[in-house]
């Protein structure tokens, strides 16, 4: 069960304007610093929406003004209501900061898609893995969606993991893709990938193993887990015995390591169980979960960074 949304999760009606203006100041600095003064589609939309909202009576809340406007002008009103809703949702997330507790994400997710926690409909997530065909890597089927196909390289480039552990190899394409992406970033890394059936793909940067999530202790060799260099990226993509698999790997993860749990819409109970046993040890990195909009990833609320070891 998710606990009810609290005041810290949402920006109040009187804080909304100030938050929008603060964000615009930050955005303008970013556009100059990082984008050669060229605004993105999102930047332009945000400024346009706020400029329009500032035309309303400054003594009233934007929600009230827009509500009245929509009643008076049914043709134009809904578009402004949509803008205001999106703007508020974005600012609520922005104010929470980059690293957020899973429980807070769950609480503040009540305004989003009930299963996927996204700000858009499930129709996008239904087809973004490729429909009817999957994407391929080195000729083998890759079970990643279009968002994660962009999120993983950004995460790998920032984290520069020395080791990747993948649970659930599938065809082996994803492990090969991780290894190729890391080589492209100039990172000397090794990828270890396990599945019930050892993948047929061969790649010099990847070692494939046979293992069963119902025997988590033997998924990967203990010595490997004790000696492979950090930082790690651990990817859970086998969908079986998830809490026990994570609990086992937790013993070897170090602060700064990342854990990405794919298809988490069907693993929320397992995540609550695992995270509940390690309060404060993992935070959701919303830079990646929300890069393309809230939870535009199959790892909804489940791209975690480990923040502390068991000793503190």
Ligand X SMILES: C[S@@+](CC[C@H](N)C(=O)[O-])C[C@H]1O[C@@H](n2cnc3c(N)ncnc32)[C@H](O)[C@@H]1O
Exactly one of 195, 236, 285, 290 binds ligand X (CB under 6 A); that residue is 195
b/e string for 74-103 if b means 16 or more Cβ within 10 A?
eeebeebeebbebbbbbbbbbebeeebebb
**What residues from 252 to 271 belong to the interface with ligand X (CB under 6 A)?**
none
CA–CA separation, 242 and 252 (whole Å):
16
Q: Which is nearer to ligand X, 47 or 244 (CB)?
A: 244
Q: Which is nearer to ligand X, 92 or 237 (CB)?
A: 237
Least distance from C-beta 215 to ligand X, angstroms? 8
**Strands in the chain per DSSP E:** 99-100, 135-137, 140-142, 163-167, 190-195, 206-210, 232-236, 258-261, 282-285, 303-306
**Strands in 213-270 per DSSP E:** 232-236, 258-261
Nearest to 165 by CA among 126, 132, 192: 192
Least distance from C-beta 258 to ligand X, angstroms? 16
Give residue for tokens 């929406």.
Answer: 49
Contact (Cβ atoms closer than 8 angstroms) between residue 103 and residue 3: yes
**What residues from 21 to 50 belong to the interface with ligand X (CB under 6 A)?**
none
| Neighbour-count burial of 62, counting CB atoms closer than 10 A to its CB (0-12 exposed, 13-18 middle, 19+ buried) | buried
Least distance from C-beta 167 to ligand X, angstroms? 6
**What residues from 223 to 252 belong to the interface with ligand X (CB under 6 A)?**
237-238, 240
Least distance from C-beta 169 to ligand X, angstroms? 6
* Contact map string, positions 142 to 171, toward ligand X, x by CB under 6 A: xxx-----------------------xxx-
**What residues from 170 to 189 belong to the interface with ligand X (CB under 6 A)?**
170, 173-174
Least distance from C-beta 204 to ligand X, angstroms? 19
Judged by CB under 6 A, the stretch of 54-62, 77-85, 209-217, 276-284 that binds ligand X is: 209-217
Which residues are at the interface with ligand X (CB under 6 A)? 142-144, 168-170, 173-174, 195-197, 211-214, 237-238, 240
């Amino acid at each position: 069960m998710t606990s009810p949304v609290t005041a810290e999760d949402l920006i109040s009606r009187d804080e909304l304007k100030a938050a929008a203006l603060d964000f615009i100041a930050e955005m303008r600095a970013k556009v100059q610093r990082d984008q050669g003064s060229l605004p993105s589609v999102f930047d332009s939309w945000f400024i346009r929406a706020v400029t329009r909202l500032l035309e309303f009576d400054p003594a009233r809340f934007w929600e009230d003004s827009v509500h009245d406007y929509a009643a008076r002008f049914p043709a134009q009103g809904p578009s402004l209501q949509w803008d205001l809703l999106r703007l508020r949702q974005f600012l609520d997330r922005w104010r929470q900061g980059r690293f957020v507790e899973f429980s807070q994400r769950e609480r503040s997710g009540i305004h989003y898609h009930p299963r996927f926690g996204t700000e858009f409909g499930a129709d996008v997530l239904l087809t973004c893995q490729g429909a009817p065909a999957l994407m391929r890597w080195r000729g083998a089927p890759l079970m990643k969606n279009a968002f994660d196909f962009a999120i993983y390289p950004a995460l790998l480039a920032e984290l520069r993991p020395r080791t990747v552990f993948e649970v659930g190899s599938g065809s082996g394409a994803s492990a090969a893709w991780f290894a190729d992406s890391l080589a492209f970033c100039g990172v000397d890394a090794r990828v270890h990938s396990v599945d019930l059936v050892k993948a047929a793909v061969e790649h010099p940067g990847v070692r494939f193993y046979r293992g069963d999530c119902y025997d988590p202790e033997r998924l990967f060799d203990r010595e490997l887990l004790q000696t492979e260099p950090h930082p790690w990226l651990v990817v859970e993509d086998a969908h079986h015995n998830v809490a026990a698999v994570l609990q086992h790997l937790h013993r070897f993860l170090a602060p700064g390591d990342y854990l990405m749990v794919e298809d988490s819409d069907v693993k929320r109970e397992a995540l609550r169980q695992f995270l509940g046993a390690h309060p404060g040890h993992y935070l959701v990195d919303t830079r990646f979960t929300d890069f393309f909009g809230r939870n535009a990833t199959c790892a909804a609320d489940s791209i975690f960074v480990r923040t502390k070891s068991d000793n503190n």
